[in-house]
Structure formats: structure tokens, C-alpha cells
Amino acid sequence: MWRNGHTNSGRNGMPHTNEDTEKEIENEEAQTEDLQPNLQTGSITVQKDGHFIHCLTVIGQIEGHYILPSQNKTTKYEHVIPQLVAIEESDDVEGLLIILNTVGGDVEAGLAIAELLSTMRTPTASLVLGGGHSIGVPLAVSCRRSFIVPSATMTVHPVRMNGLVLGVPQTLSYFEKMQDRIVRFIAHNAKISADDFRALMMKTGELVMDVGTVLDGAGAVDCGLIDQMGGLSDALAFLNRTIEEEHHAVDGH
């Protein structure tokens, strides 16, 4: 209750002045302004168990060198790459959680993001929700530990290109080299061999008018593509455990 228009009771029972109220409003507005840019890029930094963990979402289609139509939900690599650099150089952010629900997209843009993630010193974890299709597969396996929920799916298929393509041997050779780059990256960062991954990629009879394989959560773990089944709490628990282990290792030296 306001009393005489000057004071009210604060949270600790002490008198609360108009000046205090104005300061609280200013602080809330400042916090909202700080949070807004993160929400626009689909990322946020949270504190759990005393550790700051940055959460970055990869959703929709991964946009490359060409701007996609406005009705498409996209993840822009020119937004993600600077964020990863900032996270790696930050003294405050101690862990990174990548949440994936993507249909794939530009091969080189997706692979560039995956390469950055795989070379970060900051503890990283990925969580596949909904879908981690196409070039989303390298993104999922690029982190130190990958998680997938039971209902999620991952589509593995050969490299393809839309639009006009020159029907010459050099074009096919270019596709094959690009595909080899993806296969090598996945075999290096996951528990699946290059031959087994190629077998999934070239499997017939599963996709309509296409070759490839659709894996659910259990299938992705069984073939060695994803480390383990789990959800948000599992991924955060891994990050906090890894951060604690690294802190103890530093203190021990």
C-alpha cells in the first residue's frame, strides 16, 4: 500500500521510496536492453551452479552466401561465427550449449560453423531437438558431447545442389570432394567410421525418390553418430561437470 504517496513497503519490510522504485525500473529496463539482442539472435547466457553457460540455437535453414526468402526461418552464419569467437575469448562464459532443430542448408556455411565448434577450448555440448538433418549432422557431432532426444530425427543423404548445374565430369568431381570433406569431419568427430557413414548416406529404399537414411534418437546413438540419448538437463549436467573438472585440473597445477 502506498502511504501519503511517498513510501511503500519493500521486500525486506523497510520503507520503499519513490527514488528506490525509479532505480528498480531503470535496472529492469537495462537488463531488458541487454537481453534483447541475444533474443534476436536466438541465444542467451544463463548461470547454473555458479557457472555461466551460453545457449545458442541453430534453427530452420542455415543461410549461406545467398539471402533466403523472408518467410524462411534461418540461422545466419555471419551472426553465429562472431558469437563463437566472442564466447571463446570471454573470461565469463565457461560453457556453450548448441540446440539444434534444423533442416540443413548451405554446406560450406554449416561446415564452417562446425569446424569452429570442434576447435574451441570452451566446453561444448550439442542437443538435437526435432531434427538435425543434412548439414546439421556435422554441427551435432562437432561438440565435445552430443545429445539427442528420443523423438528427434536426423537425415543423412548425399550432397545436392538446387538450380542450374553443368552436366560435366568436373561438377560431379566437385560434389564428390565436398562430400568427402563432410564424411571425414564426421568420422573424426563421431564414433562412426567413414565407410559406415557412407553406407547410411547411399542407402536406397528408405527415402522417396532419393537415397539416404532417416535416424531417430535411438538409431543415431546405436550407429555411433550421437554420443548419448538425453535432454536439456543431461547436456547442462555434462557442461557443469566438465567445467568443474577443468577448474580442478587448473587448481591442481
- Check: CB of residue 45 under 8 Å from CB of residue 37: no
* Three cell numbers, residue 138: 556435422
Give the whole-angstrom CA distance, residue 240 versus residue 49. Answer: 7
Residue of 16, 54, 133, 157 with catalytic role = 157
Beta strands in 10-86 (DSSP E): 15-17, 43-48, 51-63, 74-76
* Three cell numbers, residue 39: 533474443
If DSSP codes are grouped into helix, strand and coil, which group holds residue 169? Answer: helix
Query: 169: how many CB neighbours lie within 10 A of its CB?
Result: 8
- Cα dihedral across residues 133, 137, 139, 143: positive or negative: positive
Q: Is 151 an annotated catalytic residue?
A: no
Amino acid at 29: E
Q: Is 157 an annotated catalytic residue?
A: yes
Residue of 43, 134, 142, 146 with catalytic role = 134
Give the whole-angstrom CA distance, residue 76 versus residue 173. Answer: 28
Give the whole-angstrom CA distance, residue 155 versus residue 207. Answer: 10
Beta strands in the chain (DSSP E): 7-9, 15-17, 43-48, 51-63, 74-76, 93-105, 124-132, 145-148, 153-156, 213-216, 228-229
Give the whole-angstrom CA distance, residue 17 versus residue 90. Answer: 38
Residues that are catalytic: 134, 157
